[in-house]
Structure 1
Amino acid sequence: MLKSWSFYCLSLDDLSSPWKLKKCLQVALLCIQENPADRPTILDVYTMLKSETAAISTFKRPAFSVKRDEDEESKCALKVKICSVNELKFSISQSWIKAGYWYVGSEFPISEINSALFTHLICAFANVDSSTDQLSIPFANEQYFLSFSGTIRGKSLSVTTLLSVWNGQNATGQSILGNKVNYSVLSSMFSDSSHRKSFIESSMKTARRYGFQGIDLFWLWPNGIDLNNMGRLLDEWRAAITSDARNSSEPELILTAAVRYIPNHETVSYPIESMKRNLDWAHVVAYDYFLPSMDNVTGTHAALYNPASNISTDFGINNWLSRGFPANKLVLGVPYHGYAWTLANPNDKAIGALAFGPAITIDGSMGECIH
C-alpha cells in the first residue's frame, strides 16, 4: 500500500455540499486518466471546483486499475476495487499516513494548523552540535519546539507529533544546489560508534523533553560512505528506542526518515534491509527534481511521470519497490510549492525552455514548502 500525504483546499471545506463532493470525485477521476493529454491543468481543476455550473469533461480510461485482497497483517490491509467508467466503487483505507512538516522559520503560526487534517505532524528542524553530537535547538526557536505538541494535540489528541533532525541549514542548502559539502556534522556522527551513541541518547531525551512522540531524520544528500554507516545507526537507534520504552512507562518512540525519490545515490544504495527492520516508515521526497538555481532550462520539479527521462516519481517509487522496500512503509511526499525561472526568450514558455536562473524570489521558489 502506498501511503500518501493529502492535498487540502480551503474553498472545499464544506464537503457536506452534494455538488462539491460530486465535483471533487469527478475532477479526481479526470486527473488519473491514462493519456496525460486528457488530464486537466491546475487552472482547469481550479475552475471546475469553484463553480457549480462549470462543465466537466467525459472521463476516459484511468492510468491504473488494481485489485488486492487484505493481507495477513490487518494493520496494512487495504482493498482496492477495480474501477471502470461504468462501475465505480470506492474503498476506505484504515492505515493512511497524512503527515506534514512544519518549518520553524515559517510565517504560518502553529495555532492555525488544522490538526484534524493530519495523522502526524513533524516539527522541523533540530540541529546537531558538532562538538558533542547531541541535538541542539537554538534559544530563539525553543518556544516553538516547546509549544508545538501541546498546541497541536490540544486541538486533536489523535495527531502524533515528531521532531525532525537535519544536517544544518548551510550544509543542506549547499547539497540541494549540488555542491560538495566538505564537512558534515551528520557524516562525522555516522562514522563513529561513540558519536552515534551520544546522538541517539540525546535524540530520545530531547523528543521526550519537548513532548514529541517520535523522531524523524531528514538528510537527503548523504554520500556513499554515509549510506553504508546509516544502517548501523538505524540498528542502534531502534535498539535504544525499544530499550527506552521497556525501561520506562513511556510508549515506544516512532522512528522515520526522509529519503530521496530513488533508493540509490552515487554508486551505493540506501541500507534497505536496515530501514525495513528499524523505520516505521520513510518519507519519499518526490520533488525538487529541477531547480532554477541548478538547471538552465525549465523543468517539472515534481513530475509524476516523465516520458523523456527517469527523473520522475513513478520511476523512483518503482525502484524502491523493486529493491524490496515494502509499500506499506513508503509515504509519498507532495510539494505545495513551485519554481519560477528567468526565461531566455519570454515567448518560449514550454517545458525545457532555456533560462538564466531563478525569477521573482532568490531561489525561484513560490508558495509554501509544506509536505
Structure 2
Amino acid sequence: MAATLLNLIICAVTVLWAIATTTAIKGIYWLEQPEFPPSAINTSLFTHVFYAFLQPNNKTYELNISDSTATSLTTFTNTFRAKTAPITTLISINTDATLFALIASNPSTRAIFINSTIHVARTFHFHGVDLDWEFPQTFDQMNHLAQLLHEWRAAIAAESVATCRKPLLLTAAVYFAANFFLSKAPSLTYPIHSINENVDWVNVMAYDLHGSWSNKTGAPAGLFDPESNVSVDFGLRSWIQGGVHPEKLVMGLPLFGRTWQLRDPNVHGIGAPAVGSGPGLDGAMGFFQVMDFNNKTGARVVHDMETGSVYSYSGSYWVGYDDPLTVAVKVGYAQALSLGGYFFWAAGLDTTDWKISTKGKGNLKYIQKIVSGFQNNLLKEFSKSEKSTFL
C-alpha cells in the first residue's frame, strides 16, 4: 500500500507542470489593509477568501462589530458578490488563547459566541465561519474545543433549517501537526472525532516551522526535514495517521519568508549558526520583498533537495521561503494524498503578477532537474520503514 501511494506521489510531482490542479479548495486569507483592498485579489486563482480577523468581546463574548468594521465587512462581501466567478467568503475569528479557552469552557458562553458568529456571518452575507484558536493548551481545552465544534455544527444546522438557507461552512485553523509533540505536553492531541464529525475542513498551518527565534537557520515550511519531524510531510501524515479524513485537510502555504543574520557569512547552509533576525519586520518578509532583496543584493538562491525548500543569502543575511517551484511540488504532493486543497497566508504578500499563487511553471528542464531531486527524497522517506505509510 505504501509503495502504491509512493507511486501516486511521484506521478503527481513528475507531471505537475503539465496538469491543471483539480483541488477543490484554493483559499487565501485577507487582512484588512489600505494598500491591498479585497478588490485587488485575483479571484480567478481562488475559490475561498477568509476575512481576517474578527474578535470576540472579552465581556460579552459576542463578536466585536464597530461601525468601521461593519463597513469593512460589507465592502468585502460586496466586492466578491460582484464578481462573475463565484467566490466563497468566510469570517475568520481570532483572539488570545486565554479568551478562547474561557469561552469554550462553559455552555452559556459557547452559546453566546456561536450565535453571534452565525448572526454576523448571515448579516454580512458570508458563506461560513473559521475558528483560529492558537492554540488549546491543555487536555481540558481540547475537550472543550470538541464540544464547541459539536454545538457550533448543531447551531448551524438548526439555523439552516429555520431559515431555509444553505448551512454555513465551519472551518478551523490548526497546528501543523495533530499533536503538540514539541510542547511541554507532547501527548496533547486535537479532538479528531469531533473534527471529522463537525467541521467542513481544517486549515493546517504548515509554516513558521523555523524562524529567527532559533539560533540557526531552517526551512520555515520545508516539505521534509532529515534531522527531525518538524516538516510539512510529518505534520500532514500525523493528521492522517491520527484519523482525520484526508479531504478535511487543507494545506497551508506561506507567501512570506523568515530571515536570519548569519554568525559567519561563510557558513550559509540550512542549519547555519545565526545571531538573530535579518531584514524585514520581526524577521519576516513578504515574497515580493524577498524577490526585491534577491535582486538588489544579487543574493545566491539555493533549492535544497533535502528539505524541499528554497533559501537565499547575501553577506550575513539569510532568507528561507517558498517559491513557485516549491509550491507547485507541494500542491502535487497534496493532490497525491487526496487532501481537500490548499490555502495561502496571506493576500498582498505575493508579487503583483501572483507568481506563487499561479504556481509558475518556469523552465521545463530546470523544473525536471529539481523534481528529480524531490523524487529521490520521497524515495528515501518512504524506504525508511513501514511506519512511513499514510495508511
TM-score under structure 1 length normalisation? 0.70
Hey, what does 1:248 align to over in structure 2? 163
Give CA deviations for 1:186-240 in whole Å, capped at 9, x if unaligned. Answer: 1100111100000000000011111101000112322123212100000000000
Contact (CA 8 Å) 2:28, 2:49: kept in 1 or not?
yes
Give CA deviations for 1:243-296 in whole Å, capped at 9, x if unaligned. Answer: 00000032110000011110112332100000000111111110001121x211
1:128-139 map, 5 Å? 128-139=56-67
Within the candidate set 55, 65, 69, 2:7 is matched to 65
Hey, what does 2:43 align to over in structure 1? 115
Shift in Å at residue 153 of structure 1? 2.5
Q: Identity percentage over the alignment? A: 36
For 1:88 and 1:199, the matched residues in 2 are separated by 43
Relative to 1, partners in 2 of residues 1:259 and 1:84: Cα closer, same or farther, differing over 3 Å? closer
Runs (5+) with no aligned partner, structure 1: 1-62, 68-80, 172-180
Hey, what does 2:256 align to over in structure 1? 337
Q: Which runs of 4+ in 1 moved over 6 A?
A: 87-93
The AA in structure 2 aligned to 1:342 is Q
Relative to 1, partners in 2 of residues 1:82 and 1:115: Cα closer, same or farther, differing over 3 Å? closer
Shift in Å at residue 91 of structure 1? 6.9
Hey, what does 1:278 align to over in structure 2? 198
Within the candidate set 285, 290, 293, 1:366 is matched to 285
Contact (CA 8 Å) 1:115, 1:156: kept in 2 or not?
no
For 2:252 and 2:240, the matched residues in 1 are separated by 16
For 2:167 and 2:108, the matched residues in 1 are separated by 23
For 2:190 and 2:11, the matched residues in 1 are separated by 34
Secondary structure of residue in 1 paired with 2:108: helix
The AA in structure 2 aligned to 1:142 is A
Within the candidate set 111, 118, 122, 1:204 is matched to 118
1:221-232 map, 5 Å? 221-224=135-138, 225-232=140-147
Contact (CA 8 Å) 1:82, 1:89: kept in 2 or not?
no
Structure 1 residue 153 corresponds to structure 2 residue 93: no
More helix by share: 2
For 1:203 and 1:152, the matched residues in 2 are separated by 20
Hey, what does 1:304 align to over in structure 2? 223
Contact (CA 8 Å) 2:43, 2:85: kept in 1 or not?
no
Hey, what does 1:194 align to over in structure 2? 108
For 1:185 and 1:88, the matched residues in 2 are separated by 43
For 1:140 and 1:284, the matched residues in 2 are separated by 30
Runs (5+) with no aligned partner, structure 2: 288-344, 348-391
The AA in structure 1 aligned to 2:251 is L
Matched pairs, number: 280
For 2:267 and 2:173, the matched residues in 1 are separated by 36
Relative to 1, partners in 2 of residues 1:295 and 1:242: Cα closer, same or farther, differing over 3 Å? same
Hey, what does 2:93 align to over in structure 1? 165
Relative to 1, partners in 2 of residues 1:353 and 1:137: Cα closer, same or farther, differing over 3 Å? farther
TM-score under structure 2 length normalisation? 0.67
Contact (CA 8 Å) 2:89, 2:128: kept in 1 or not?
yes
Secondary structure of residue in 1 paired with 2:234: helix
Greater RCO, 1 or 2 (C-alpha within 8 Å, sep 6+): 2
For 1:88 and 1:222, the matched residues in 2 are separated by 37
Hey, what does 1:261 align to over in structure 2? 176
Relative to 1, partners in 2 of residues 1:308 and 1:136: Cα closer, same or farther, differing over 3 Å? same
Within the candidate set 107, 125, 128, 1:214 is matched to 128
Relative to 1, partners in 2 of residues 1:230 and 1:350: Cα closer, same or farther, differing over 3 Å? same
Relative to 1, partners in 2 of residues 1:93 and 1:326: Cα closer, same or farther, differing over 3 Å? farther
Contact (CA 8 Å) 1:340, 1:360: kept in 2 or not?
yes
The AA in structure 2 aligned to 1:234 is L
Shift in Å at residue 94 of structure 1? 5.3
Hey, what does 1:42 align to over in structure 2? none
For 1:103 and 1:262, the matched residues in 2 are separated by 24
Relative to 1, partners in 2 of residues 1:331 and 1:342: Cα closer, same or farther, differing over 3 Å? same
Secondary structure of residue in 2 paired with 1:137: coil
Shift in Å at residue 136 of structure 1? 1.1
Contact (CA 8 Å) 2:104, 2:141: kept in 1 or not?
yes
Give CA deviations for 1:69-97 in whole Å, capped at 9, x if unaligned. Answer: xxxxxxxxxxxx95798x99977675521
Relative to 1, partners in 2 of residues 1:333 and 1:112: Cα closer, same or farther, differing over 3 Å? same
For 1:307 and 1:138, the matched residues in 2 are separated by 49
For 1:109 and 1:329, the matched residues in 2 are separated by 29
Relative to 1, partners in 2 of residues 1:253 and 1:352: Cα closer, same or farther, differing over 3 Å? same
RMSD over aligned Cα atoms: 2.5
Relative to 1, partners in 2 of residues 1:187 and 1:106: Cα closer, same or farther, differing over 3 Å? farther
Contact (CA 8 Å) 2:44, 2:85: kept in 1 or not?
no
1:171-182 map, 5 Å? 171=96
For 2:211 and 2:83, the matched residues in 1 are separated by 37
Contact (CA 8 Å) 2:28, 2:346: kept in 1 or not?
yes
For 2:12 and 2:113, the matched residues in 1 are separated by 48
Hey, what does 1:291 align to over in structure 2? 211
